[in-house]
Amino acid sequence: MLVFAIEHFVHPLLLPGVPLVKEMPAWIPGRVLVDYVTGAALLVAAGSVLPKKNTRTVTTCLGGWILLLILVIYVPMMIVALSEPGTPVKLEGINYFADTLLFAGGILVLASAHEAASVSRGSGPPRAPVVH
């Protein structure tokens, strides 16, 4: 996350999430702002993982932000790429979508794993299961 955060600040017009070589489409308003917000979110999440302070909350928010970027940026890009006649263009569109979706999934798994780790350490007496 730290390396990806730095990449967002060094190259603010590239696609957000996983810093890929392709630039963000021109139809996206505030492209630089989107990249800086993504970089800042990645930086905050990376800073919360090592000291284990609010890691679950921060990484869940980051995963949600990346999923929102996928819906708003990557899905339309993939649809446009799939409508193109060349196979390499179609594969590139699917690849960008899949890479970023995998990254978001990894972040959300980290959030989930941190919750499981803090629960398994125990912070009090065990609770009885809730039966509905």
Residue 45 near residue 59 (C-beta atoms within 8 A): yes
pLDDT of 51 reads 79
Mean pLDDT by 10 residues, the chain (132 residues): 92 88 89 94 90 86 95 94 90 92 92 65 59 68
- CA–CA separation, 8 vs 121, rounded Å? 35
Give the predicted TM-score (pTM) of the model.
0.80
pLDDT of 127 reads 64
Burial class (CB in 10 A: 0-12, 13-18, 19+), 89: middle
